[in-house]
Amino acid sequence: MMAATEAQALGSSRSANRIGRPDVLSARREAGLVRSAQRGDAAAVEALFAAFWPQCHRAAWLITRDHGAAEDIAQEGFLAAVAALDRFDRSRRLGPWLQTIVARRAIDHARARAVRREIQDGPVDGRGDGVAAGTSTASRPSDRLLDALAGLDHERRAVVVLRHLLGLSPRQIAEILDVPVGTVNSRMRRGLDQLRLEMEDADG
Amino acid sequence: MDDQRLVETLRSLPVPDAEGAQMRARDLVLAAHAGRRPAGRRRRRGVLALASAVIGGAVALSATQGPGVERWVREALRTSVADPHAQPAGLAGLPGGGRLLVSTGLDAWVAGQGLTRPIAHTRGGGVSWSAFGNYIACGCGQRLEAVALSGRVVWTERFAARVGPPTWSPDGNRIAFTVGRELYVTAGDGTGARGLRPAPASGLFGLAAWRPGPGHVLAVRDAPRRVSLIDTDTGRVLARIPLESDPVSLGWSSDGRRLLVTTRRTLRVYNADSRLVSRRQTSPGASITVAGISPSGHQIAYVVRGTNGRLETVLSAVERPRDNRVLLVGSALGGLLFSPDGRWLLVAWNELDSWMFFTTTTPTRARQITRVAAHFGSAEAVATAWCCVARPPAAGGG
């Protein structure tokens, strides 16, 4: 996919730590691209987009479980970032900023969908095949994990995704969710316990 | 599953339509980046453009109005041009916030809150915001569509004849539109469409307005020289309002307590019981081209064409008929819209290819967005609706 190849060409250095932030650009390379983008360089914007879109889109999808909404949310997040590009402080990292924008919107979406329906929700894709949560017959680990994630309530699911996909710390997650760090830790523990139980059930 | 396996699995799960989504977003992001200008330059150009436009307006106003108007123009000039906190003129941040729905004839665009982009190819069909501005309804040929701001079509319903301009209810649960010459209502998810009654109007644009509040009550021109209030859930007619001529527009205050019914010669404001609260009539020979009521229901704005052919935009208090402010005079004034919070009024100043934004409080201040046609790639761009200052948190969920 374009993102992977461009990220590699730009000197991708995915971290190998256990739940580390998956850096796709070195800090120096990222700062250079942001500076060029602020000056109007479209190639720099494209490179930044290619580096950060896949993960933001993935996070939005895992949190919302709705690929149409995830596309909208990630798009809006990136467009908001472009609109605020001139004001962006280059001493900060762009990736976490973008991830935070998208994660907040995805969580807001998940929360709002629970209480308000402007239009009837379309099919929500746990796996996209209509298998209901908790009734998994999937055989691949990835399918079983998706089913198990679908069974989590959106608050626990968000914590697991922010921690294990985006590599955010409990403190950062607490800021995004606007809850105490202790709440993040308890949601994480319960979410992971529930995931393990459902995965074990599926394994028989 | 340990943490490491969980991390690896989450990072490798196949996301549905990932490549398609990435390509669509890439194009939009690059277009948005290409469309932006460095902030410093944008601000200077905005202030200069505003100065020239307000001076133009001053000339137009002072040529036709008395000393009171000249004084107001001087105040507006001083306030607007010298204001060090003036927002840069541009579509990214509209005065009053929120987003505009803009029709160019062929396409529907969304503008504001950092976005300016086409979202639907309407081919001349009408469009309407959903309740929270996260979708639009589009009457596109023989289809009624709900489209997300990304351009994704959320649902489509086909009909046997051309679908007229839709209007989405404030609670998001109903959409009214015409099919051929019949009035239809459907649920907000596009299901359960049913004909309600014959609709003599060829379309409903401006001629059907949902009453905010409980239930699904539609004010609609359902017969020549008549507006009816219809409970669309039961089909019961709640009130009939006879008029001396056909209405040109209908509009509710945001609390559903006031209804503005505009004809070529009159502006009538009714309360929730359909009792007349206020009535204005133009001078002989003059005619009203467009009108709107503020969200609070306490102000109305209208464009009136005088006997000399000149157009005036007037802001007026409903309870104080003598409290009129002429905001703009010109030969080509288009539509007008109140901002969702009612603090700004947009007036299309077509002869200067501009949108003027006036505060609805005193002293009046003005902002301008220039080169409207260039923003939308069309000289036919018309702002049709203004939505949602307090946008709910969901980005795509309603």
Burial profile B146-157: b = 16 or more Cβ within 10 angstroms, e = fewer: bbbbbbbebbeb
Residue pair B300/B293 in contact (Cβ under 8 Å)? The answer is yes
Chain A residues touching residue B14 (CB < 8 angstroms) = 142
* pLDDT-based confidence at residue A202 (cuts at 50, 70, 90): low
Predicted local distance difference test score (pLDDT) of residue A19: 56
Residue A1 has pLDDT above 50, yes or no: no
Closest residue by Cα to residue B12 from A99, A58, A160, A71: A58
pLDDT of residue B178: 87
Q: Are B266 and B250 in contact (CB under 8 A)?
A: no
Asked if A91 is an interface residue toward chain B (Cβ–Cβ < 8 A), one would say no
| Largest Cα span, chain A | 57
Distance from C-alpha of B312 to C-alpha of B325, rounded to nearest angstrom: 10
In A70-85, which positions are buried (b, 16+ CB within 10 angstroms) versus exposed (e)?
Answer: bbbbbbbbbbbbbbeb
pTM higher than 0.90, yes or no?
Answer: no
Statement: residue A80 has pLDDT above 60: yes
The amino acid sitting at B297 is G
B28's tokens: 């939009």
Residue with tokens 């994704």: B152
Position B181, amino acid:
R
- A175 φ/ψ sector (left φ>0, alpha ψ -120 to 50, else beta): alpha
Angle between helices A94-115 and A170-177 (to 10 degrees): 50
Using CB atoms, pick whichever of B30, B114, B397 lies closest to residue A69. B397
Q: What is the pLDDT of residue A162?
A: 92
Instruction: Identify all chain A residues contacting B393, using CB atoms and an 8 Å cutoff.
Output: 105, 108-109, 111-112
User: Taking the alpha carbons of A89, A94, A96, A101 in that order, is the dihedral positive or negative?
Assistant: positive
Residue A183 clears pLDDT 90, i.e. is over it: yes
ipTM of the predicted assembly exceeds 0.95? no
Mean pLDDT of A151-176: 90
Cβ(B353)–Cβ(B74) below 8 Å: no
Instruction: Closest CB to B33: pick one of A45, A77, A105.
Output: A45
Nearest-CA distance from B144 to chain A in Å?
14
pLDDT at B90: 60
Answer yes or no: are the C-beta atoms of B18 and B12 closer than 8 Å. no
Reply yes or no on whether the pLDDT at A51 is more than 90.
yes
If one counts every other C-beta atom within 10 angstroms of the C-beta of residue A45, the result is 25
Using the Cβ of B2 and the Cβ atoms of chain A, whether some distance falls under 8 Å is answered with: no
Q: What is the pLDDT along chain B (398 residues), one digit of tens a residue?
A: 677 888 888 888 888 888 888 887 887 788 777 766 544 444 444 433 444 444 444 434 433 344 444 444 334 433 333 233 333 346 767 888 888 999 988 889 988 876 778 888 887 788 999 988 888 999 988 999 999 887 888 899 999 988 988 999 998 899 999 888 788 999 998 899 988 866 555 555 558 899 999 999 999 988 888 899 999 998 889 999 999 888 999 999 999 999 999 999 999 999 988 889 899 988 888 999 999 999 999 999 999 999 888 999 999 999 887 788 899 888 899 899 999 999 999 999 998 888 999 999 888 888 888 888 888 888 889 999 998 754 433 333 33
Q: What is the spatial distance between Cα B71 and Cα B263, in angstroms, rounded to a whole number?
A: 32
Q: Is B279 helix (H, G, I), strand (E, B) or coil?
A: strand
CA-CA distance, B219 to B197, in Å (whole number)?
A: 13
* C-alpha distances in Å from residue A34, one per residue of A49, B113, B398: 11, 22, 33
Q: Residue range A72-94: average pLDDT? A: 84
Categorize the per-residue pLDDT at A203 as very low, low, confident or very high, splitting at 50, 70 and 90.
Answer: low
pLDDT band at A21 (very low <50, low <70, confident <90, very high): low
**Cross-chain Cβ contact A72/B30 below 8 Å:** no
Identify all chain A residues contacting B28, using CB atoms and an 8 Å cutoff. 75, 78-79
DSSP B297-308: SSEEEEEEE-TT
- Which residues lie closer than 8 Å to A35 by C-beta, 6 or more apart? A90
Q: What is the pLDDT of residue A115?
A: 52
Which residue in A has a C-alpha nearest to residue B113's C-alpha? A80
Is it the case that residue A114 has pLDDT exceeding 70? Answer: no
CB contact under 8 A, A69 and B395: yes
A42 contact B CB<8A: yes
Of B173, B266, B261, whose CA–CA distance to B219 is shortest?
B261
The label of the residue with tokens 């100043």 reads B349
Q: Does A74 or A134 have the greater pLDDT score?
A: A74
Which residues 20-59 of B are in CB contact (within 8 Å) with A? 21-22, 24-26, 28-30, 32-34, 36, 38-39
Across the interface, do B39 and A146 touch by the CB < 8 Å criterion? Answer: no
Query: What pLDDT, on a 0 to 100 scale, did the predictor assign at position B84?
Result: 30
- Whether B149 and B142 have beta carbons less than 8 Å apart is answered as no
Q: Which residue of A79, A136, A149, A198 to mutate against B (max B Cβ within 10 Å)?
A: A79
CA distance B389 to B100: 11
- Would you state the structure tokens that stand for residue A155, as one six-digit string? 């608050």
Query: Does the beta carbon of A77 lie under 8 angstroms from any beta carbon of chain B?
Result: yes
The partner residues of B120 in beta bridges, in order of sequence, read B108
d(CA B61, CA A141): 73
| pLDDT reported for residue B319 | 86
Q: How far apart are the first and last CA of chain A?
A: 35
pLDDT of residue B64: 39
User: Token digits for B378?
Assistant: 């069309």
Residues 6+ apart with CB under 8 A from B197: B182, B183, B222, B230, B235
What is the structure's pLDDT at B46?
A: 41
